Structure 1
């Protein structure tokens, strides 16, 4: 049932919602949502699989040319509509609610396996404190993946029940700690024997690799994934922005922070990988399968393991909270549920959706073909579907929302920001179709 202006007391509606207390509060909260597994887990393993420097260059180009304007657009759209994701798309055109539900569904699927990986990080952090970090194969021999999922869901429910203020407080605490730990681990990595090899791997760029279309698909997909474009995060968090916030400035700070931490994650991980002769192309299990062996062989391995996996958990949990908030705001407002009841519904839904991913790394080894269920979802939903969602959503907004309305939502009098957004948003879908046609022909 769509949300209406009249709702019984205690329910959430799009017109009765909180706000971030300030622009810095929004920046901290959005950065905490963006700087998560996409940077500390996904970015390093993709850089390892796709040759290091070439992937990083393509990723930076994608971020500067396309991803940033789309980020401005989605945050401004959320601010303009002042509601959940479905409400935002419905405000543009009534039939847009269908696409809004698609975005929320996409976010639910991504968050479901995010929660499982968050459980892994919590399990590894606890094992590190107990000085008993084992291999990932040992971890997945039993049902630890399922057990830690339940713990993470319970912790997520606790934070969500405390509302928007709890998210803001958590983010203000988490971001400085996260940055401090990352920098500390990079300093430690710089003293390893593999630092020089890691530097060559991350900085040397084979320009011929840029002619590979698949590299660009992966780079753009990671850009969309990292900034949460096309997933409802930006729209939802943007809907809570205070009136005086300069959206492009705030978004640029968030994107810059996210990119810096992603690059630092590479400098943090790969020196350890090369020092101990490990495989940089290990894939999605890079951090969990290779780094415990690296820490075990180091003189200061125990405290580094605690810091690294503790960092991993905090970053993963912040991103999981952001995904849960997108789903929660939509469920509460669209179905006019009391906050507590909406939290229970969302946590129950996520438990059902996350079970297959959790069970894929247990003795059941739930798979699709030869690929574990979690990996299959990440490869398909976390890549191609996100690209489609972000590109379609940009076209939807830019062709149907007048530039003057969006400019007011951006909080700036400069038309340059609007011109850049509409140039990318309106013509990116056509450019992608042309690119696909050329790729197929050639």
Structure 2
């Protein structure tokens, strides 16, 4: 079994998994839609009180049981082994449409570098999105096929530091814009009156789990490759702070542009692909800014996609005794097939079901409910069925607080998040 070459390599890979489109595009969209700075209060509570303990549990379970997701569930209780496949299926389904959005970011890197002004509506009424989706999937599969050290580790060692450098450069430029002060005030000044809205809390908790990649089995899988001497609490805290830093910095990049050029901060998903490109066209050094911004989005998306594929690749490789290259090839072909309807829905084919694009249906169902399901399965199975003392020894520092949080509070919060989305 391969292991991470160092603690730094593990942290970079985990940060790469956590830092995805959710930190840059989705976080800023949710801040804009939920009253600016007010959103940060429930979000920070969700991150540090609930998502961080679940992250530590996943890493502890993966390292203690020395198994992928399916193996870990089987070792908790043999009859629970199918639940591991449920987790794999949900994550694989999310990956199938996540790669479509990854393809969009790759396309806009190319458009920006070529100096082409392409409206998102024109892009998604062509067949180009399908091509970029397939290219992204093949790149992801190639990285995973190379293994932990030669593939995932080498890839994240390059792209994670580069992503941070790009983000810092974009922030430095945004700080020179006339709307910088307004953007920062919007991001950090809370309107406490909106905190009574349950939808605000539901959005914040959903984003916290999504952003940190907890509840997917990704960190459980990564824990399997982790050496015994790595401290889980401090490592998880570093990953969490890095993830949060990227999200905040992204907001400090995007909102100054929004306020400088009179854009709508609550534009939602359109912000990245429709409104911001228009601002890039008229701002000084706009082409350079655009290339850096979309490259950052693509790098973040790709590192997350790689980690999602690794969940299924590790489980399938061990369960069926298939080589990593073989299983990566099969899974890449499978994810392209599964994701093709989502890609077609944002293309000239305009594939819909009952008037709704397939990608949007997948995001609302699998993305919205699937994460709640997988996170609940992981939290409940491994805190209720594994020996508490065994987990305490594995976790070390903070275990007496972490385990009760994951055992009781996290499932309760996940259920409330699900209920908020269903009834409000």
TM range (shorter): over 0.9
How far 1:397 sits from its partner (Å)? Answer: 1.1
How far 1:242 sits from its partner (Å)? Answer: 1.3
Q: Distance in 1 between matches of 2:257 and 2:73?
A: 45
How far 1:387 sits from its partner (Å)? Answer: 2.4
Question: CA contact under 8 A between 1:194 and 1:272: conserved in structure 2?
Answer: yes
Of 211, 222, 229, the match for 2:196: 211
Greater Cα offset, 144-153 or 199-208: 199-208
Deviations 1:174-199 (A, max 9, x none): 12111111111111111112212212
How far 1:434 sits from its partner (Å)? Answer: 7.8
CA 1:325 to 1:439, structure 2 compared with 1: closer, same or farther past 3 Å?
closer
Q: Which position in structure 2 is the counterpart of 1:225?
A: 210
1:421 partnered with 2:385: no
Q: Distance in 2 between matches of 1:377 and 1:224?
A: 18
1:128 partnered with 2:109: no
Question: CA contact under 8 A between 2:372 and 2:415: conserved in structure 1?
Answer: no
Kindly report which structure 2 residues correspond to 1:196-345, keeping only aligned pairs within 5 A, or say none: 196-345=181-330
Q: Distance in 2 between matches of 1:439 and 1:358?
A: 26
TM-score (norm 1): 0.91
Q: Distance in 1 between matches of 2:360 and 2:413?
A: 29
Structure 2 gaps, min length 5: none
Q: Distance in 2 between matches of 1:430 and 1:295?
A: 44
1:407 partnered with 2:407: no
Q: Which position in structure 1 is the counterpart of 2:60?
A: 76
TM-score (norm 2): 0.95
How far 1:381 sits from its partner (Å)? Answer: 2.6
CA RMSD, Structure 1 to Structure 2 (Å) = 2.1
Q: Distance in 2 between matches of 1:179 and 1:371?
A: 36
Question: CA contact under 8 A between 2:71 and 2:84: conserved in structure 1?
Answer: yes
Q: Distance in 1 between matches of 2:74 and 2:140?
A: 29
Question: CA contact under 8 A between 1:192 and 1:271: conserved in structure 2?
Answer: yes
How far 1:271 sits from its partner (Å)? Answer: 1.2
CA 1:339 to 1:435, structure 2 compared with 1: closer, same or farther past 3 Å?
closer
Deviations 1:52-101 (A, max 9, x none): 21212211111111111111001111111111111111111112212211
Q: Distance in 2 between matches of 1:114 and 1:323?
A: 10
CA 1:80 to 1:205, structure 2 compared with 1: closer, same or farther past 3 Å?
same
Q: Which position in structure 1 is the counterpart of 2:178?
A: 193
Q: Distance in 1 between matches of 2:376 and 2:350?
A: 34
Of 82, 86, 93, the match for 1:109: 93
CA 1:184 to 1:399, structure 2 compared with 1: closer, same or farther past 3 Å?
same
SS at match of 1:74: helix
Q: Distance in 2 between matches of 1:439 and 1:254?
A: 28
Question: CA contact under 8 A between 2:125 and 2:350: conserved in structure 1?
Answer: no
Of 335, 341, 356, the match for 1:371: 356
Question: CA contact under 8 A between 2:170 and 2:253: conserved in structure 1?
Answer: yes
Q: Distance in 1 between matches of 2:43 and 2:337?
A: 34
Q: Distance in 1 between matches of 2:321 and 2:110?
A: 39
Question: CA contact under 8 A between 2:205 and 2:417: conserved in structure 1?
Answer: no
Of 377, 394, 398, the match for 2:379: 394
Q: Distance in 2 between matches of 1:425 and 1:95?
A: 22
Q: Distance in 2 between matches of 1:214 and 1:277?
A: 27
1:31 partnered with 2:30: no
Deviation >6 Å, runs of 4+: 434-442
Structure 1 gaps, min length 5: 1-16
Total equivalences in the alignment:
422
Q: Which position in structure 2 is the counterpart of 1:65?
A: 49
CA 1:408 to 1:139, structure 2 compared with 1: closer, same or farther past 3 Å?
same
